[in-house]
Amino acid sequence: MPVISFENVSKVYPLPAGDVVALDGVDLAIEQGEFVLIMGPSGSGKSTLLNIMGSLDVPTSGEVTIAEKRIGGMDDDDLTLLRRDHIGFVFQQFNLIPLLSIVENVEYPLILKGRQNGTRERAEEVLKAVGIEKTHFTHKPGEISGGQQQRVAIARALVNDPDFLLCDEPTGNLDSKTGTAIMTLLDKMNREEGKTVVMVTHDPRMTEYADRTIRLVDGRVAE
C-alpha cells in the first residue's frame, strides 16, 4: 500500500478569464521508504501537487489517498488532523513560530495532539537527532542561523512520527554548504530511519539523493 497515491487527479481553478487547469489527470504512487523528487518548471503544477499531497487542498476530480485515507469528502478539521498526525512539513523559509523557543517549536505538534507526559523529552530527543545542541534549546528561532533553523524545522516535522516528510525547496534559502548538510540529514533520515521523503525542488543536483524523480510539465507527469 503506497503512502501517497493519486488516481487521475485533476485540479482546476475557475477564474473569470477562464478555467486554469493546474493538474490534468495525474497518476502517481509513492511507496513507503522512498526518496522522491518532484521537479518541473514554474507553472507546471508543482505547488498544487504539493498542496494536495499535504492535504492543504483537495482535488477537483480524481482520487487521492494519503496514509491509507481518502481525502475526498474530508472537511477542514479532518484534513487538519491528517496533516497533524501523518505529514511532516519542511518549508523553504523554515517557518518556525517566533514566539516559541526552539524546543517549544518542536514540542508544539505534540501538544496539538493533546496533553500528555514526556512531550518535552521527546522534543529534546528529536532535536538531538537532527544535530541541535542542548544550549540552543531555549533560544528563539531568530537567534540561530538559517541552517540550524531548518534543522529545527525538520525536527518539528519528525516529532509526531509522520508517514512522510513533505519538503518544499528545503535548501532554497541556504548557502550550498549548509544546504548540503541539510540534504545529508534528510538522506540520513531516509536511509537510517526509513522515512519517506517527498521533495519539491528546482535544483537538478538533488537527484543524487533521490530514488526517483517525478517531472511535471503542464500539469501532467512527464515520462
Question: At closest approach, how far in Å is the CB of 159 from other proteins?
Answer: 10
Helix (H, G, I), strand (E, B) or coil at 96: coil
Q: Is 89 in the site for other proteins (CB under 8 A)?
A: yes
Question: At closest approach, how far in Å is the CB of 131 from other proteins?
Answer: 21
Q: Is 156 in the site for other proteins (CB under 8 A)?
A: yes
Amino acid at 146: G
**Strands across the sheet with 212-217, in order?**
87-90, 164-168, 196-200, 35-39, 212-217, 220-222
* Of the candidate residues 40, 45, 109, 170, the single one contacting other proteins (CB under 8 A): 109
Q: How many residues bind other proteins (CB under 8 A)?
A: 27
Q: Is 24 in the site for other proteins (CB under 8 A)?
A: no
Q: Is 91 in the site for other proteins (CB under 8 A)?
A: yes
Choices 60-68, 152-160, 186-194, 215-223; region in contact with other proteins by CB under 8 A: 152-160
CA 39 – CA 81 distance, rounded (Å): 28
Question: At closest approach, how far in Å is the CB of 8 from other proteins?
Answer: 22
Phi, psi of 58 (to 5 degrees): -120, 150
Question: At closest approach, how far in Å is the CB of 84 from other proteins?
Answer: 2
Nearer to other proteins, 93 or 207 (CB): 93
